Amino acid sequence: MPAFRKLLPTERDQYLAHLLRLDRTDRYARFTGTISDDVIRQHVAGLDWGRTILVGAFIQGELRGAVELCTDRLLWPNQAELGISVEKGLQGRKVGTTLIRRTMTIAANRSIQQVHMICLADNVRMRALSRKHGGRIELEGGEFSVTFDLPRPNQFSLALEALEDGAGAFNTVLDRFQGAALDRAA
């Protein structure tokens, strides 16, 4: 079971390594097109941490899945855009489901009213995930756009995020401990 938690700006390199590990198909799906390693490097180097929240899934200290939630309070108030990636070995194990669910709580707690996402039309996993989280899907040519309408924040959503932040820190320690134990056994 991965440890889920927000990433710190100092973990930029972990995010870069994760995106570079995506195979060709997943990279194409994540960025809805072909992009080179250099463009991924520029993308990660250009992240504005004041406007971006990254939520990750870690296995033995390595980032294996991530959601990038981008906001712009001035140009796009109360709206956000989401990109998600889970590495092949972890797909189909509900990691994407958990990442999206947690990200929606985090977004709602920042008074974001709608989260948007663009995916390739043949991305069946993302369609299933979007439907499961109540996303409104609209087909546009070879792509589909999804809009998630979020509830207003409340005590429960604020407490849930705080609880999950605490659990994330605890699980990160356990995950590292387990990783070190496996390294010693090898």
Ligand X SMILES: CC(C)(COP(=O)(O)OP(=O)(O)OC[C@H]1O[C@@H](n2cnc3c(N)ncnc32)[C@H](O)[C@@H]1OP(=O)(O)O)[C@@H](O)C(=O)NCCC(=O)NCCS
Applying CB under 6 A, which residues contact ligand X?
26, 29-30, 83-86, 91-97, 117, 119, 123-126, 128-129, 132
Whole-angstrom distance, CA of residue 82 vs CA of residue 74: 18
Q: How far is the CB of 84 from ligand X (least distance, A)?
A: 4
Q: Which is nearer to ligand X, 32 or 113 (CB)?
A: 32
- Closest separation between CB of residue 11 and ligand X, Å? 19
Separation between Cα atoms, residue 94 and residue 171, nearest integer Å: 17
- Tokens of residue 82, six digits: 């989401």
d(CA 109, CA 102): 11
In the complex, minimum distance from the CB of residue 131 to ligand X, in angstroms, rounded to a whole number = 8
Q: Which is nearer to ligand X, 31 or 76 (CB)?
A: 31
Q: Token match 């489901």: residue? A: 97
* Residue whose CB is less far from ligand X, 7 or 129: 129
Q: How far apart are CA 186 and CA 98, in angstroms?
A: 30
Please report how close the Cβ of residue 134 comes to ligand X at its closest, in angstroms. 13
Cα→Cα distances 61→12, 17, 70, 169, Å? 14, 12, 24, 12
**Cβ-based nearer residue to ligand X, 82 or 112:** 82
